[in-house]
Chain A
Amino acid sequence: DIQMTQSPSTLSASVGDSVSITCRASQSISSWLAWYQQKPGKAPKLLIYQASSLESGVPSRFSGSGSGTAFTLTISSLQPDDFATYYCQQYNTYSRTFGQGTKVEIK
Chain B
Amino acid sequence: EVQLLQSGGDLVQSGGSLRLSCAASGFTFSTYTMTWVRQAPGKGLEWVSAISGGGGSTSYTDSVKGRFTVSRDNSKNTLYLQMNSLRAEDTAVYYCAKSRASGGTYSPLDLWGQGTLVTVSS
**Do residues A95 and B106 form an inter-chain contact, with CB atoms below 8 A?**
no
**Do residues A43 and B115 form an inter-chain contact, with CB atoms below 8 A?**
yes
**Do residues A32 and B106 form an inter-chain contact, with CB atoms below 8 A?**
yes
**Do residues A98 and B106 form an inter-chain contact, with CB atoms below 8 A?**
no
> Chain B residues with Cβ under 8 A from A46's Cβ?
100, 108-110
A-B contact count (CB 8 A): 57
B114 contacts chain A at the CB level, 8 A cutoff: yes
- Max chain B Cβ within 10 angstroms of own Cβ: one of A38, A46, A91, A95: A91
Count of B residues near A, CB < 8 Å?
A: 23
Chain A proximity of B56: nearest CB distance (Å): 13
By secondary structure, the A interface counts as loop
Q: Indicate which residue in B35, B47, B113 contacts A43 across the interface (CB closer than 8 Å).
A: B113
> Chain A residues with Cβ under 8 A from B47's Cβ?
89, 95-98
Task: Name the residue of chain B whose CB is nearest to the CB of A102.
Answer: B44
